[in-house]
Amino acid sequence: MLNRLEMLRLFCAAAEASSFKEAAARLGTSPQAITRAVKELEEAVGELLFHRNTRGVQITEFGAQLAVHARDGVSHIDNLFHKHSRLPDAGLTGVVRITAPRVIGRRYLMKALLPLATRHPGIRLDVQLTDVVADVVDERIDIGVRIGQLRDSRFVARAIAKMPFVVVGTPKLAAAKGKPATPQDLQHLPMTALTDHNTGRIWPWFFADNHNLVPATPAFVSDDPEVEFSAMLADIGYGQVLAQMAEPYLRSGKLISVLDDYQPPPWDLYIYRPRRGPVPARIRLVYDHIVEALSDPVTFNEFRAMAH
């Protein structure tokens, strides 16, 4: 059953149009929705509102009188919201809770969010950087950012960027230990490894054709991607990292890439939010801002320039 305000809104559109089809077109709904609203309103008031025949519909005298009062009521309520929406930063107050992987959050997300927080001081950002996949529904997170597959019907998700992976090492490491010709060669060379917070096990390295490899005896292990990356830069071992992290160092010659012919398909970077009713203005603003920032290649290019 429709709420009474929506019922009256659809009825008023029908009263002003030449047909239910025209009324539906004006409101971007279906003629069936108009018919259902009129029927429910007739049952509620106990009066016939439209005469129906094969040529169409015609409003009754009672219906025309009701439409006059209904328009005033709907207009009055709409004006209350309209006046509120014209207040400075109306609806842009309150907490927006965000979760993101640490690398994405530190390097890219915060740079996008801090200017937004300055422009809208009524919005309080609560940013949780974690590599643990959070249950945003249970933890009441408003917006999530995640790399990799995201298939959950509880979320509204959108892929906003591609995140390629590369295997890198320093020129000094390659000169001392040699370069791998195949992924299997890596097991005989120093490797770095990253612990998966979700499982407690070491993350596998991914390669083309759905092949993966888990470092058997890594020379360095960390649970933080930034720390692991620092070990790669310090000649400790080869590592597999996001291309966005490695590219400035590849360009400067501090790192070299290996096994380029075995690179896996890029992973998607997703932004998502729970499906739980209307989206408040503050959340929509932050969500749209993150989409704009992280889908723009300039966001990553600016970091590359800073790293030189």
* Statement: residue 52 has pLDDT above 80: yes
H-type alpha helices, the chain: 4-16, 20-27, 31-45, 61-85, 102-104, 110-119, 171-177, 225-233, 243-252, 281-294, 297-307
* pLDDT tens for each residue of 234-272: 999 999 999 989 999 999 999 999 999 999 999 999 998
All structural domains of the chain: 4-85 (1.10.10.10), 94-163+267-307 (3.40.190.10), 165-262 (3.40.190.10)
What average pLDDT score do residues 109-134 get?
87
Say whether pTM exceeds 0.75. Answer: no
The structure tokens listed for 137 are: 């529904």
Q: Residue 304 — pLDDT band, cuts 50, 70, 90?
A: very low
Q: Check: CB of residue 178 under 8 Å from CB of residue 171.
A: no
Q: Interior CA angle at 273 toward 267 and 275, to 5°?
A: 125
* Statement: residue 138 has pLDDT above 50: yes
Res 307: pLDDT? 39
Res 181: pLDDT? 97
* Amino acid at residue number 221: V
The structure tokens listed for 48 are: 């016939």
What average pLDDT score do residues 213-224 get?
95
